Structure 1
Amino acid sequence: MSTTLIRNADWIIAWDDQLKSHTYLTNQDVVFKDNKFVQIGGTWDGEADQEIDGRGKMIMPGLVDIHSHPTSEPGNKGLLEELGSKRLGQSSLYEFMPVFRVPQEAAPVATKVAMGEMLQSGVTTIVDMSGSRENWANEVAETGIRGVLCPMYRSARWFTKDGHSVEYEWDEKAGEAAFEQALKTVDDARKHPSGRMDGMLGPSQLDTCTEGLIKDSLAEARKRNMRMQIHAAQSVIEFEVIMRRFGYTPIEYLAHLDALGPDTIIGHGIFLNDHPMLHWPAANDFETLAKSGAHVAHCPTIFSRRGIALNTLDRYAKASIRVGIGTDSFPHNQIEEMRHACLMSRVNTRNYLAGSTDQAFNAATVWGAEAIGRDDIGKLAVGMKADFSIVDTKHPLMRPCREPLRSLIYTAAERAVKDVYVDGQQVVRDGKALYVDMDSALDQLEEFQRETVATVSERDWAGRQIEEMSPMVFPQK
């Protein structure tokens, strides 16, 4: 067994099991053997095969990203930042995202870009919500990250013919076939030789899946002792559709299906009946959600672009609703997501005390780990997996470094993340992902995006060109 010592780190964000909380240690050691921590804090007096100087450094647990779409979102950069449907609840889900999606053959390239960004922002575990494809587990594992493959499948696709109404094209047999493929995908992921791959079942969206598909997914997830994640309560349109079909709010409908519990992750969980953008007093979604034990994947960045926000991180956290953080869109930067989670919570409550740094950090670490059913990641403690980051506290944007986590989240972000380790192996050195050729991947992704942009009129309901749909910030001469 190889022993690595980080000697005399300025700061360590350690886990205190008695307090059930992260805590700061200063000027102490961190030691791991192979892929597990053997000492957090104190002074190591044993032998070490490698010693790292911890002066001017902060050691923090690896971040857990519980909701991401790495095959599609990197290709939306420059297209969707200021785009939503004014007649479809400000969402870009129905009118624009299907039109701008890069082709399936771009998936491996887009994945590399997203994984590189995640690793460089300190993410060590990612829930990859994509469609099943050949070689998927290998592609994720090759980046060095710890991956949870969540193949998505559905019974219907959505589309709009007019920009103000959403229609659904149902193909239940195709959904069932995709579900069967998903089961094979998650079972194979757990057998991956890296030992870092796992699985999760992902019926795509509440409004695109039959009752049977959702129930069967949860039953198979429970049989395998894994989680199920489903997009729900993510748009005004979805709220209205589920209410019209079944007479339930999305949260009530999940509860009706017995699909709202500790083994379920709700992707977004924003539009409860009392959300300010709705008026539906004849329900109590918040209490139902809180009592259920279900987890919520909170992705503040993409929704804030559309003028939409969770109501709110602070409120959910204080009600013991377990919230995890996800990078639902570009940039795949978990530190920025934490910042936005705090700021949006404060803006929406008009209270600077709402949306605290500890809530956001817990969501990105221990609560995220709990959401995906792991008790061996997301914290620095003896026996935990050696998934962690080394932050440069001497970076100019970290200084003055009176409170290192605030300096990191509100100012420095990924720019101060120096080195990252997953399962005891270094995957980022001096801010660069070691197993992802970002320049090459970005060159290829740009070409895929150019091809997609050139043909948007063929997929758009109104036949618009890209300049009409997503104009440049300034006129181009």
Structure 2
Amino acid sequence: MKPGPHTTIALKSSCVVGFDGTQHVLWRDGEVVFQGSHIVFVGRGYSGPVDQWIDYGNALIGPGFIDLDALGDLDSTVLTLDNGDEPNMGRMWSEAYLAAGPKESYSAEEEVFKYRYAFTQLIRNGITTAMPITSMYYREWAETYDEFAAVAGVAAELGLRTYLGPCYMSGMSYWRADGTLGHHWDEARGLAGLDAAERFFTDFEGAHAGLIRGALLPDRIQTCTPALLQRTAALSRELNAPVRLHCCQGLDEVAMVKHLRGASPLAWLEQLGLLTPRSVLPHGIYTDGLSDLQRLAQSGASVVHCPVVFARDGEALQSFGRYQAQGINLALGTDTWPADLLDNMRQGLNIARLMEGGNTLTSALDMYNAATLGGAKALGRDDIGRLAPGAKADITVFSLRGMHLGPLFDPLKNLVLAGRGDDCIASYIDGRCVMHDGQVQGVDYPTLQQQAQRQFATLMRSHSVRAAGQPDWKTLFKPAIPYADDYSAQAPLSVIDPLS
């Protein structure tokens, strides 16, 4: 239950991450006091009137995490793990599927449910602000206004601070029968999608007492035409709206943009007026070297780093520390399951040091800053991602009692080295307690998980119609260890039907 606007609540714990106006600072035996939706005190020895004191004991109270590529889906990327190429498993459209006419894999109700499931996972992992992302390959096209009106309701119900808008695009890549890559374009549909996004922004910007904010979310740079991106840039200026655009995330994408547009992805965005402080760019991996890094730094655009999802395929940002040294603002995203930013910090730190050949350019604090201050800067905000008087009461509590954390020597280092998302035991967003003792308020976990499992089975089955030749869907997903009662030399391995 959200306290009233004049209710004063004080939290205390063994460690509190405050903000001194420039940087995060650590208070031992610290206190955080908030009234309504805003923080009024961070430190020790608060002497004002308090309606309720809550002592979390041995825990780290800190700012909520900001996830700017937050999984809003039942994750499909996990299906590719050790299962071969995406074209062969129906994670890209085949020419026959495109000719027959793409269709939705989920019902309208199921589309909204996937957000409820994902938003619950985000809150459980200490994420208080999210800009969600979902896959388009299993959609008939892109997302809709009505769908996102419902999604906004789900976010408000759960209490998650979100930047929302229906994804739009003017094209989709597909695999021709001869094995070459084709590109299907529908300019009118892309521009209609942008109109829907503008309508959503106008109707929902600041909705639910400011918990819901609007954003322009074109799909990927290679699925957007020049006209669509030019109009997106103009609308972003007019509305002062953030624009998130996935780019520099694959060699095929870079080659395609250079072939079609005659420039690197970032150079092309610069030409279109889409490199600005409002630009939020996952993933920034494949660039044209120093010239592209200088473009990013000079423009004020932010790179959203999602280390885990790329490491699974053997890819990594060239150097987190060198990007940072160039003056590029870095934020963090999950983009896959699990929705665990602590895991992304840990793996991101290790990967950065491998890529950089040493341990001097990237620190644990750099990763934590990206998940808090960097995300806030990308959104043009100075009232989230920090605990300070006047900031929003977006607060997380991470238990430091877990034996898996080892002996405590530094709360942040212990969490980055050994912590996990479910060490988050409580979360407050806009002053509302949205999770207590690890339980997201109003959510029946077993029921939620059962429905997610049923819906995931629907997604897995849908792969068959998109794959060339429409193979039995069970042959597309091979278990890591063959099932003893299902294996024969004559037949491919199959997975257990989740609905059986």
RMSD between aligned alpha carbons? 2.4
Q: Structure 1 residues 391, 69: CA separation in 2 closer, same or farther (over 3 Å shift)?
A: closer
Partner of 2:186: 171
Residue 301 of structure 1 and its aligned partner are, at CA, apart by: 1.2
Note if contact 1:82-1:305 (Cα within 8 Å) is conserved in structure 2. Answer: no
Note if contact 1:268-1:298 (Cα within 8 Å) is conserved in structure 2. Answer: yes
Verify: 1:123 aligned to 2:138, yes or no: no
Which residue among 293, 311, 315 is the counterpart of 1:286? Answer: 293
Cα distance in structure 2, aligned partners of 1:13 and 1:242: 43
Partner of 1:80: 80
Q: Superposition pairs for residues 57-72 of structure 1, below 5 Å?
A: 57-70=59-72, 72=73
Residue type at the aligned position of 1:161: R
Q: Structure 1 residues 101, 10: CA separation in 2 closer, same or farther (over 3 Å shift)?
A: farther
Q: Structure 1 residues 320, 386: CA separation in 2 closer, same or farther (over 3 Å shift)?
A: same
Cα distance in structure 2, aligned partners of 1:236 and 1:216: 26
Residue type at the aligned position of 1:51: W
Q: Superposition pairs for residues 160-199 of structure 1, below 5 Å?
A: 160-162=175-177, 165-199=180-214
Verify: 1:156 aligned to 2:132, yes or no: no
Residue type at the aligned position of 2:186: D
Match of 1:418, SS state, is strand
Structure 1, residues 273-295: CA drift from partner, whole Å, max 9, x if none?
24xxxxxxxx8222222222111
Residue 230 of structure 1 and its aligned partner are, at CA, apart by: 0.7
Structure 1, residues 35-75: CA drift from partner, whole Å, max 9, x if none?
111110020112111101143121110000111241x3x24
Match of 2:26, SS state, is strand
Q: Superposition pairs for residues 20-419 of structure 1, below 5 Å?
A: 20-70=22-72, 72=73, 74-76=74-76, 79-83=79-83, 85=85, 103=106, 105=108, 106-129=110-133, 131-132=143-144, 133=147, 134-162=149-177, 165-274=180-289, 284-419=291-426
Residue 361 of structure 1 and its aligned partner are, at CA, apart by: 0.6
Note if contact 1:11-1:58 (Cα within 8 Å) is conserved in structure 2. Answer: yes
Match of 1:32, SS state, is strand
Cα distance in structure 1, aligned partners of 2:107 and 2:84: 24
Verify: 1:6 aligned to 2:11, yes or no: yes
Note if contact 1:61-1:365 (Cα within 8 Å) is conserved in structure 2. Answer: yes
Segment of structure 1 superposing worse, 201-210 or 445-454: 445-454
Structure 1, residues 298-323: CA drift from partner, whole Å, max 9, x if none?
11111111111111211211211111
Structure 1, residues 401-448: CA drift from partner, whole Å, max 9, x if none?
111111112212123211110011111111121133332222112112
Residue 163 of structure 1 and its aligned partner are, at CA, apart by: 8.6
Cα distance in structure 2, aligned partners of 1:179 and 1:52: 46
Residue type at the aligned position of 1:55: G
Note if contact 1:154-1:203 (Cα within 8 Å) is conserved in structure 2. Answer: yes
Cα distance in structure 1, aligned partners of 2:103 and 2:81: 13
Q: Structure 1 residues 93, 396: CA separation in 2 closer, same or farther (over 3 Å shift)?
A: farther
Cα distance in structure 2, aligned partners of 1:463 and 1:108: 28
Note if contact 1:226-1:372 (Cα within 8 Å) is conserved in structure 2. Answer: no
Partner of 1:279: none
Partner of 2:496: none
Cα distance in structure 2, aligned partners of 1:66 and 1:396: 31
Note if contact 1:40-1:382 (Cα within 8 Å) is conserved in structure 2. Answer: yes
TM-score by length of 2: 0.87
Cα distance in structure 2, aligned partners of 1:306 and 1:264: 26
Residue 101 of structure 1 and its aligned partner are, at CA, apart by: 8.9
Verify: 1:429 aligned to 2:436, yes or no: yes
Match of 1:203, SS state, is coil
Identity of aligned residues (%): 27
Cα distance in structure 1, aligned partners of 2:402 and 2:175: 48
Q: Structure 1 residues 292, 414: CA separation in 2 closer, same or farther (over 3 Å shift)?
A: same
Q: Structure 1 residues 341, 108: CA separation in 2 closer, same or farther (over 3 Å shift)?
A: same
Cα distance in structure 2, aligned partners of 1:140 and 1:382: 26
Cα distance in structure 2, aligned partners of 1:348 and 1:436: 41
Residue type at the aligned position of 1:186: F
TM-score by length of 1: 0.91
Q: Structure 1 residues 455, 121: CA separation in 2 closer, same or farther (over 3 Å shift)?
A: closer
Note if contact 2:233-2:273 (Cα within 8 Å) is conserved in structure 1. Answer: no
Note if contact 1:118-1:334 (Cα within 8 Å) is conserved in structure 2. Answer: no
Residue type at the aligned position of 2:265: P
Verify: 1:15 aligned to 2:14, yes or no: no
Residue 161 of structure 1 and its aligned partner are, at CA, apart by: 2.6
Partner of 1:453: 460
Residue 28 of structure 1 and its aligned partner are, at CA, apart by: 2.5
Note if contact 2:67-2:129 (Cα within 8 Å) is conserved in structure 1. Answer: yes
Segment of structure 1 superposing worse, 98-107 or 133-142: 98-107
Note if contact 1:341-1:355 (Cα within 8 Å) is conserved in structure 2. Answer: no
Runs of 5+ in structure 1 lacking a partner? Answer: 275-282
Structure 1, residues 103-148: CA drift from partner, whole Å, max 9, x if none?
2532222112211111111100001235231412101211111111
Residue type at the aligned position of 2:416: I
Residue type at the aligned position of 1:433: V
Segment of structure 1 superposing worse, 449-458 or 172-181: 449-458
Residue type at the aligned position of 1:12: V
Note if contact 2:122-2:339 (Cα within 8 Å) is conserved in structure 1. Answer: yes
